[in-house]
């Protein structure tokens, strides 16, 4: 069975520093996949390469059988690949619904520069409302983004990523900055979204990742040193010797 998204033999260096060395990853359609590893392991660089923010020095990346190696984020978004960021990137002074509307392909195709003139377009408003419903923000359309609690802002950022109608959604440290209740709400959201999207997460909260992911890849020293289901990784010797052993 062909993976929806696959990276093969990815290498990346910055000057004399080799950050990724022969990384290969595959993400199955309809699954939640995780990438984890200690600080400095190369996982963030790996995520940037997978989502078009760094071009690999060697190796190939394919999506749904199409070679997308080295394509920029805008091109990847057009074929169905979207992502969020560890540091949120929202229009804080704009309404919640405006943040989503400006990310809709229909809005961008019209080359409009302001969101307010399109509020009379029922199709655009309806599409944005549907996305806000998906991420649990129905009824908060007119609130300013900056006024939302941090967890709701994280949900809005995911909504903005979903506005591009992706088939695969990459989430970069989605629990970063969240408290216990907001983290639990995010887990509930991801469980709901997995019915409609393929999801890949890089995440430092191992309990969160182990609870949600179907399969996890462990990146260390710029390489994939282990991969499998959470149960399989729980028996992995590297995991057992690390701080992750308590979770596993």
What pLDDT shows up at residue 28? 96
Distance CA 156, CA 18 (A): 35
Q: Tell me phi and psi for residue 24, to 5 degrees.
A: -130, 130
What pLDDT shows up at residue 240? 62
Q: Tell me phi and psi for residue 86, to 5 degrees.
A: -60, -40
What pLDDT shows up at residue 215? 96
For 161-201, write each residue's pLDDT tens digit: 999 999 999 999 999 999 999 999 999 999 999 999 999 99
Distance of CA 154 to the CA centre of its chain: 12
Distance CA 162, CA 176 (A): 19
Closest-CA residue to 21 (of 218, 224, 200, 201):
224
Residue located via tokens 């088939």: 167
Which helix (H) or strand (E) segment holds residue 231: the answer is helix 230-234
Better-predicted residue by pLDDT, 57 or 123 = 57
Task: Tell me: pLDDT of 129 over 70.
Answer: yes
Closest-CA residue to 171 (of 204, 140, 137):
204
Two structure tokens written together for 227: 């991969």
Distance CA 27, CA 7 (A): 9
Q: Compute how many other C-beta atoms are within 10 angstroms of the C-beta atom of residue 13.
A: 15
Distance CA 46, CA 28 (A): 18
Q: What is the pTM of this model?
A: 0.89
- Helix runs in 102-218, H state only: 105-109, 122-134, 150-162, 180-193, 206-212
Percent of the chain beyond pLDDT 70?
90
Yes or no: say if 209 and 202 are a contact pair by the CB < 8 Å rule.
Answer: no
């Amino acid at each position: 069975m062909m993976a929806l998204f696959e990276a093969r033999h990815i290498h990346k260096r910055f000057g004399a520093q080799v950050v990724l060395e022969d990384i290969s990853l595959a993400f199955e359609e309809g699954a939640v996949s995780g990438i984890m590893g200690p600080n400095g392991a190369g996982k963030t660089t790996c995520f940037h390469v997978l989502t078009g923010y760094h071009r690999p020095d060697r190796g190939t990346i394919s999506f749904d059988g199409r070679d997308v190696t080295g394509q920029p984020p805008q091109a990847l978004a057009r074929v169905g690949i979207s992502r969020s960021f560890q540091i949120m990137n929202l229009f804080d002074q704009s309404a919640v619904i405006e943040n989503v509307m400006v990310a809709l392909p229909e809005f961008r195709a019209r080359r409009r520069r302001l969101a307010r003139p399109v509020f009379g377009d029922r199709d655009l408003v309806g599409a944005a409302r549907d996305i806000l419903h998906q991420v649990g923000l129905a009824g908060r359309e007119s609130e300013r983004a900056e006024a939302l609690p941090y967890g709701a802002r994280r949900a809005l950022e995911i909504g903005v990523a979903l506005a591009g109608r992706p088939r695969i959604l990459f989430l970069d440290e989605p629990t970063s900055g969240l408290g216990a209740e907001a983290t639990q709400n995010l887990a509930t959201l991801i469980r709901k979204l997995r019915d409609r999207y393929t999801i890949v997460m890089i995440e430092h909260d191992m309990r969160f990742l182990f609870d949600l992911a179907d399969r996890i890849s462990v990146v260390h020293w710029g390489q994939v040193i282990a991969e499998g289901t959470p149960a399989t990784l729980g028996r992995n010797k590297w995991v057992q010797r690390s701080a992750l052993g308590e979770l596993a």
